[in-house]
Amino acid sequence: MKIILLEHPRSITPERCNDIANTPLSSCLISGYAAGMLKKCGHDVEIIEGYLDRLTYGEIENEIRSIKPDILGVHMVYHWRQDHELFGFLENLKDRRLASTITAYGFYATIAADNILKQSTAVDSVISGETEMTFPALAEAASTGLFTPFLPGLSVRYQEGIRCTRRRPVKDLDEIPFPVRTEAQYRLPEVNILGSRGCYGRCTFCYINSFYGTGVPWRGRSPENIASEIAAINAERRAGRFYFTDPNFFGPGLKGQERALKIAALLKPMNIFFGIEGRVNDIHDKTIGRLVDAGLRHILVGLESGRDESLKRMNKMTTVDQNEQALRVLRRHGIEPNVGFIMFEPDSSLEDIRINFEFLKRNDLLANLPVTANVLYHHQIVLEGTEAYHMLKREGRLQLRDSSYEGNTCLKTPGVAALANIMRGVTNVLFSRMAAIWSGKIAETPDTRRQNAEINRILVDTFENCLCQLEAGEQFDDKHIRIMAQNAEREINGSLNKSYGSDD
């Protein structure tokens, strides 16, 4: 059968430009793995990179018209709004009979399956969770005409409503084909690779476990299988730089450390550089040392908070001591980590914010402008499929946005809410102005280091001055919040204009 897998176009509004879930790494390679398995089963598969290739829906329609697929698969990636343009496009394809069968897949599609099927008559089905077992079964059923609404791993409409069947996880990741990668993916600075799936953690803000469903929470590929894929890519492309998109590179416990050491031993002769993501309790001196020796250069670790009480509310199953130990280990081996940090969680108090701020200062996490902007800005994003979403819904505190996938809630403490609003406004201006510079589109100037240090000072001072006033009992109304944000924005723009000129 002819099958198209579509990575649909998406845009990010300026006020959401820095939300970490805009391009969730956990969703990477889903289309590639589906394509690999479908090709293995004898199907003719094409991936259309609507996002990376910056295609319009008109251009995508022309490609679909020329291929005439039997099935159109759409990797649905959420980007903070109800995507009327995407669903309108799919309706148009159905009306013109350019796609007789349309199925959606991916994290957003899995978690929001009911809403997608209720709202879009063009979407015939949703693949829940992993695609490798279900998509070939769907293609086989479509080719033989033996389609059943009870196909394992598939959500469909039927006479009595939406039918969701039990998911079909991959038991042995080594048995599935390597993912298909497009030319657009190879244009990225690093080649994305997936060494494991899932996470043994149970953080209240994370939807990873909801996507993979019940069963073994973390599954890893063998080190030999990973090394074989990297060797194959280098033989063809000489890539040199890789990024493991695993939500948790390390497996649990001693076995996880032993596996990471084996990966390091296999990668060392390949002379590559790579990045990973992990939990702080998995950052061990010996393992990190071996990984750095093998080419590890970047790591994202989820610190999330500098207070144990907050970590418990998030069910991180880690401690502040472990956070600080992980930072010491990584820096000892020359790695300055990228950190996940939730400054503003729904139940934060001013005391929580102060302790977080002191933690960041104590651990030298407020000296680098991109890091400072992130850690002084981030609020907890509340997505369907997370424990936080369901908890807030039970408590009657959940507020839904344009779609039910993202929820919102008022921060419990008014002072915390005021500070969050100020920092969100200030940092959005910064991210917007610095986007071209940080992406390399505009060259840095000799004055860049001084200018970054000045803006960093403005951010830290703004945060601390506002926090001190709130701790002293001052009340910030909307006008006060707006004025304080505007003052900081004016300072930042003044500093930027000196180095890069006006943004007018």
CA 224 to chain centre: 27
**Is there a single domain that holds both residue 122 and residue 136?**
yes
Question: In the numeric block, which tokens belong to residue 68?
Answer: 């005439």
Do 54 and 93 sit in the same domain of this protein?
yes
Same domain for 490 and 372:
yes
CATH number of the structural domain spanning residue 317? 3.20.20.70
Q: What is residue 485's predicted lDDT score, i.e. its pLDDT?
A: 87
Res 80: pLDDT: 67
Kindly state whether residues 240 and 145 are assigned to the same domain.
Answer: no
Asked whether residue 96 falls in the same domain as residue 200, the answer is no
User: How wide is the angle at C-alpha 283 spanned by C-alphas 279 and 284, nearest 5°?
Assistant: 150
Q: What is the pLDDT of residue 69?
A: 96
Looking at residue 214, its pLDDT comes to 76
Q: Final residue of a domain: which of 131, 164, 197? A: 164
Distance from C-alpha of 430 to C-alpha of 408, rounded to nearest angstrom: 24
301, 326 contact by CB (below 8 A): yes
Positive or negative torsion for Cα 224, 225, 228, 234: negative
pLDDT one-digit tens code per residue, 242-272: 999 999 999 999 999 999 999 999 999 999 9
Q: Are residues 308 and 256 in the same domain?
A: yes
The strand pair at 125-127 and 154-158 is best described as antiparallel
Collect the ranges in the chain with pLDDT lower than 70. Answer: 12-27, 79-80, 146-149, 159-161, 435-440, 499-504
- Strands across the sheet with 241-244, in order? 191-193, 241-244, 273-278, 296-304, 338-341
Q: Which of 341, 360, 392 is the last residue of a domain?
A: 341
Under DSSP, is residue 212 helix (H, G, I), strand (E, B) or coil? helix
For residues 350 and 337, state if they share a domain: no
Distance between CA 117 and CA 125 in Å, rounded?
7
If asked whether residues 219 and 286 sit together in one domain, one would say yes
Q: Kindly compute the dihedral angle of the four CA atoms of residues 231, 232, 234, 240, in this order, to the nearest 10 degrees.
A: -60
Domain co-membership, 238 together with 301: yes
Q: Is residue 385 part of a domain?
A: no
Strand partners, 191: 242
The structure's pTM equals: 0.92
| Residue 394, burial from CB neighbour count under 10 angstroms (0-12, 13-18, 19+) | exposed
- pLDDT digits 0-9 by tens, 110-163: 999 998 998 899 999 999 999 999 999 999 988 887 666 678 899 988 766 677
pLDDT at 438: 67
User: Residue 503 belongs to what domain range?
Assistant: 344-380+413-504
pLDDT of residue 21: 52
Total number of domains constituting the chain = 3
- Using the 3D structure, point to which of 116, 149, 164 is the last residue of a domain: 164
Query: Could you tell me if 324 and 350 lie in one domain?
Result: no
Is 184 contained in some domain?
Answer: no
Whether residues 193 and 141 share a domain: the answer is: no
Q: How far apart are the C-alpha atoms of 277 and 201, rounded to whole Å?
A: 13
Picking from 152, 111, 112, the residue whose alpha carbon sits closest to that of residue 132 is 152
Asked if residue 406 is part of any domain, the answer here is no
- Looking at the fold, whether 496 and 419 belong to one and the same domain comes out as yes
| Per-residue pLDDT, 444 | 72
**Residue recorded with tokens 């860049």:** 448
Give dist(CA 478, CA 421) in Å, integer.
Answer: 10
Distance (Å, rounded) from C-alpha 105 to C-alpha 111? 10
